[in-house]
Amino acid sequence: MGGAMSWISEHKLVSSISNAGGFGVIACSSMSPEQLENEILLTKQCIGGKEFGVNLILMHPNIDELINVCIKNKITHIILAGGIPSKDLIGKIKVNNIKAITFAPSISVAKKMVRIGIDALIIEGMEAGGHIGKVSTSVLAQEILPEITDVPVFIAGGIGTGKIIVNYLKMGASGCQIGTLFACSKESIAHPKFKQKFINASSYDTVISTQLDSNFPVIPVRSIKNNATKDFTDFQKSIIEQYNNGLVSKSEGQLAIEKFWAGSLRRAVIDGDVESGSLMAGEIVGLIKKELPVQEIIDNIVSDAESYIENFYINRP
């Protein structure tokens, strides 16, 4: 699966992933319902009947309208991100013949999601790029895969080779989700300077954002270290100061902090401001040596998986 990436997973990348044998997912992020419909139509034009999905952020103010756009356009898979979906929401999606998929940050959430009707789960470790949880991919996989057998489970965070995919499949996963590698693909619309930062980075170069005040909770974000990391800390400080002086309400402050990353990522991805824009990337960025076509990224992973199976499992004495 292609992991949805805000500003990056638009029709060109999504259709390239599905056309190359993967499963592309549009990142709706902060798009309006009209913008989402346009992206869906453009993807369909490039994709010739192959399947793809749409990733929706639960706290989007127009979430119901966005789901209606997916229903109207006969989307087959919706991936719900940025929170825990309700039974009603999952029901609304499924009753329209759409598969509902979401993220499970823990075994208890995974079990609850299965109980309320989710069709598939993604477990994403803290090695991943973008907004992350607290636990690593390998630990989540060992905790969740043996317990969840009623629905397919996909593994995300730190996937860069066929070898690791073979091992997660052997442990019971149905597939893996990749973000960072595709962000640096030829078909990704990310600015050349953004991609160059990925090519230059090692796995040591990513950092996780920190929260300054429990009144203003922050979902941690993993990105390549640059000024955005420090700017985010300064931004939080200024919001907390404004709140303490009665200049903004708590909810206004929380919203402003939440919106920081969307604007900051756009500046880096679209405008190429790689000094102060956010360079969201997973630790696997260290494996990227050059910009490659999506087809080559997928072919490399598949042939690596095949030779690993052959050498390790078939020819092993």
Ligand X SMILES: Cc1cc2nc3c(=O)[nH]c(=O)nc-3n(C[C@H](O)[C@H](O)[C@H](O)COP(=O)(O)O)c2cc1C
Residues in CB range of 291: below 8 A, 6 or more apart: 184, 185, 186, 195, 199
Cα–Cα dist 125/202, whole Å: 19
Q: Nearest approach, Cβ of 124 to ligand X (angstroms)? A: 5
24 is a contact residue toward ligand X (CB under 6 A): no
- CA 45 – CA 60 distance, rounded (Å): 26
Distance in Å, CB of 15 to ligand X, minimum: 17
Rule CB under 6 A: is residue 159 a binding residue for ligand X? yes
Among 15, 18, 55, 185, interactor with ligand X by CB under 6 A: 55
**Binding-site member from 13, 14, 26, 27 for ligand X (CB under 6 A):** 27
| Block residue for tokens 């630790």 | 283
Instruction: Give 226 or 248: the residue with its C-beta nearer to ligand X.
Output: 226
- Between CA 223 and CA 95 the distance in angstroms is 38
Nearer to ligand X, 55 or 209 (CB): 55
Consecutive H or E run containing 222: strand 221-224
Count of chain residues binding ligand X (CB under 6 A): 27
The 118-157 contact track toward ligand X, x by CB under 6 A, reads ------x--xxxx-------------------------xx
- CA end-to-end span of the chain, whole Å? 34
Rounded Cα distance between 33 and 22, Å, is: 25
Only segment of 10-18, 112-120, 177-185, 237-245 that touches ligand X (CB under 6 A): 177-185
| Secondary structure (3-state) at 94 | helix
Task: Tell me the closest approach of the beta carbon of residue 110 to ligand X, in angstroms.
Answer: 16
Q: Is 83 helix (H, G, I), strand (E, B) or coil?
A: coil
- CA atoms of 286 and 40, how far apart (whole Å): 32
- How many alpha carbons lie under 13 Å from residue 219 in its C-beta half-sphere? 16
Binding mask 191-230 vs ligand X (x if CB under 6 A, - otherwise)? ----------------------------------------
Cα 138 to chain centroid distance, Å, stands at 17
Q: Which is nearer to ligand X, 280 or 292 (CB)?
A: 280
> Which of 15, 177, 188, 264 touches ligand X by CB under 6 A?
177
Task: Report the interface residues with ligand X, using CB under 6 A.
Answer: 3-6, 8, 27, 29, 55, 81, 124, 127-130, 156-159, 177-180, 183, 280-282, 284
